[in-house]
Structure 1
């Protein structure tokens, strides 16, 4: 189970890193033209950049605390925060009539729930 939790966290961290980089550094018109990014054309630049920074922090928080052995409970906390972020993404895609990415957001949400459950319950990191 420990291995699958690491894989799930690494997968989520990769998704968060890629999403964070694009939302933080890619120009908004280019993001709005990309599939699934249409909503960024209606959102303020500050909101998009803030979400990008949050995703970059999530990428770090899903892996680094456990690797360094410093406050490894933050992996589960970050996974819970990722669940909230995915709920917001689902609402946003529904609101802008873009249901294509809802299934993907649900998969990410499920992975984050698995990581949070696993690290807070049956397979916590040693203290």
Structure 2
């Protein structure tokens, strides 16, 4: 179970770290081809979402890696489930209705919650 947690949580953390780094560092013009919804949210909100993803990715890995408060890892995964639920809502209320990636990420985060609680 521990190996399964690291495999699933590691992939989720890598994707979230990459996505968060893009949102924090790139301009709207550079993000638009990848994320059609960026014009619908204020720039500070976009940057905050990126920071949340970066912190969440850290929260999936660091507590389990250090052994300090390991229950924070499933809490971070719950945060990702909620983040993806919000992302699905944003996609469905706008013109961009592509939610397949978000559904997959939400499912991955839910599995991470389960694995994190099962191995704690």
Same fold (TM over 0.5): yes
For residue 80 of structure 1, what is the aligned residue in structure 2?
78
**Residue 20 in 1 paired to residue 17 in 2?**
no
SS in 2 for 1:62: helix
Aligned length: 120
Deviations 1:54-91 (A, max 9, x none): 00001100101111111111110000000000001111
Alignment gaps of 5+ in structure 1:
none
Moved more, 22-31 or 47-56: 22-31
Q: Scaled by the length of structure 1, what TM-score is found?
A: 0.89
Alignment gaps of 5+ in structure 2:
none
Task: Please identify runs of 4+ aligned residues in structure 1 that moved more than 2 A.
Answer: none
Post-superposition offset of 1:99: 2.3
For residue 7 of structure 1, what is the aligned residue in structure 2?
7
For residue 39 of structure 1, what is the aligned residue in structure 2?
37
Aligned-residue CA RMSD in angstroms? 1.0
